[in-house]
């Protein structure tokens, strides 16, 4: 036991005495979360919009007011002719142009066929569709206001309600993703690099020619990084709740439990990598390429899995981060209990068991 504790302490010395290790372990997660938090959000706020309005009547004025009043848009000015539309888009300051038809109010009241055109910059399709969606909604709202006064008898009013995320906050999707990514990065990369370093510096040779059992070496390598990961988990959760306004609707205990299982999976993955490589650089590259990319691409964090070709969807089944993300979303946002995440728990737990078994089995107690 004393042997084990000394070894764990030694591992902590390695972490605390290397400035770059410290930065990667403790500052990087915070930076990543904050950066992704404000970068990857799909929310569009304070977009400038311009109007081409040949009618200039009460209705168009009402719509423009309605749109300007919202958080999403800032009124920038009227255009004199339709030819100016392209010009303003080229200047890059305008995100949306609204073009009204002639005699808008009259048409609306009498023929019921008033025309309005929304023009957005399609080179960024996500933003463009979000903007047009917001604007359409605001126009519909205005229409309902007006029609409500008129009391037109027949009307279908679709009321859209976005469950769990009524205001369409981007952070709801990416926080679980970033959590998965950071924990994966820290656990897998740092453990694999730290074992590769012992091999590279030749200390592994000395450790092998000692009474220490392979399993002891492995566990004493894992323990410090497990602690660091728990610290990171706490920071991430605190930041998500207090800086990015994420709710924790479900049980905090359950959330921590699934995170701990996921940390184990990542640590085991790191051990598996380290059993295959001898150089720190290679360990770093493999962790970055083989794990970061699939975690980002195939976990549903950036792109919806449902739209992917089938083979990629199959591949995504073996990405631990995918299961972790699903479980975290269910617990954190939907507030579901244990019975709804049994599947994710089972998958992650069996992954942990298989990976740890594989890395212990693969650990070489000789040099070749």
d(CA 67, CA 56): 15
| 276 class by beta-carbon count within 10 Å (0-12 exposed, 13-18 middle, 19+ buried) | middle
The terminus-to-terminus CA distance of the chain in angstroms comes to: 29
366 binds other proteins (CB under 8 A): yes
d(CA 191, CA 291): 14
| 219 class by beta-carbon count within 10 Å (0-12 exposed, 13-18 middle, 19+ buried) | middle
C-beta neighbour count of 102 within 10 angstroms: 12
Which CB sits closer to other proteins, 150 or 367? 367
Which CB sits closer to other proteins, 120 or 193? 193
- Which residue in this structure is represented by tokens 């940390």? 263
Q: How far is the CB of 198 from other proteins (least distance, A)?
A: 9
Which CB sits closer to other proteins, 115 or 210? 210
20 binds other proteins (CB under 8 A): no
Among 201, 231, 342, 357, binds other proteins (CB under 8 A): 201
Tokens of 355: 């990976």
> How many residues line the site for other proteins (CB under 8 A)?
24
10 binds other proteins (CB under 8 A): yes
Sign of CA dihedral 221, 320, 328, 258: negative
**Part of the chain binding other proteins (CB under 8 A), chosen from 11-19, 24-32, 260-268, 346-354:** 11-19
14 binds other proteins (CB under 8 A): yes
207 binds other proteins (CB under 8 A): yes
211 binds other proteins (CB under 8 A): yes
Q: How far is the CB of 259 from other proteins (least distance, A)?
A: 30
- Which residues contribute to the site for other proteins (CB under 8 A)? 2-3, 6-7, 10, 13-14, 17-18, 201-203, 205-212, 365-368
């Amino acid at each position: 036991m004393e042997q084990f504790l000394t070894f764990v302490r030694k591992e902590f010395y390695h972490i605390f005495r290397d400035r770059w290790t410290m930065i990667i372990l403790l500052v990087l997660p915070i930076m990543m979360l904050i950066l992704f938090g404000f970068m990857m959000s799909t929310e569009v706020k304070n977009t400038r919009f311009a109007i081409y309005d040949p009618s200039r009547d009460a209705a168009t004025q009402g719509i423009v007011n309605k749109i300007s009043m919202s958080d999403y848009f800032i009124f920038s000015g009227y255009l004199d002719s339709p030819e100016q539309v392209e010009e303003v888009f080229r200047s890059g300051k305008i995100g949306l142009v609204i073009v009204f038809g002639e005699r808008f109010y009259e048409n609306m009241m009498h023929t019921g066929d008033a025309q309005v055109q929304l023009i957005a910059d399609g080179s960024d399709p996500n933003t463009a569709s979000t903007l047009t969606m917001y604007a359409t909604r605001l126009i519909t709202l205005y229409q309902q206001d007006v029609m409500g006064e008129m009391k037109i008898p027949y009307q279908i009013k679709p009321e859209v309600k976005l469950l769990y995320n009524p205001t369409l906050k981007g952070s709801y999707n990416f926080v679980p993703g970033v959590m998965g990514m950071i924990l994966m990065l820290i656990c897998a990369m740092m453990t694999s690099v730290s074992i590769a370093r012992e091999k590279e510096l030749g200390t592994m040779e000395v450790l092998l020619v000692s009474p220490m059992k392979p399993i002891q070496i492995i566990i004493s390598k894992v323990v410090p990084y497990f602690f660091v990961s728990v610290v990171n988990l706490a920071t991430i959760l605190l930041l998500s709740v207090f800086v990015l306004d994420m709710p924790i609707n479900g049980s905090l205990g359950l959330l921590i439990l699934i995170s701990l299982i996921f940390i184990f999976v990542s640590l085991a993955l790191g051990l598996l990598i380290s059993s295959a490589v001898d150089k720190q650089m290679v360990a770093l590259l493999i962790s970055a390429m083989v794990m970061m990319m699939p975690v980002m691409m195939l976990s549903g964090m950036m792109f919806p899995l449902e739209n992917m070709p089938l083979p990629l969807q199959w591949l995504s089944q073996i990405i631990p981060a995918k299961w972790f993300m699903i479980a975290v979303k269910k617990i954190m946002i939907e507030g579901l209990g244990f019975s709804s995440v049994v599947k994710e728990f089972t998958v992650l737990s069996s992954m942990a068991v298989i990976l740890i078994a594989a890395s212990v089995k693969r650990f070489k107690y000789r040099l070749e």
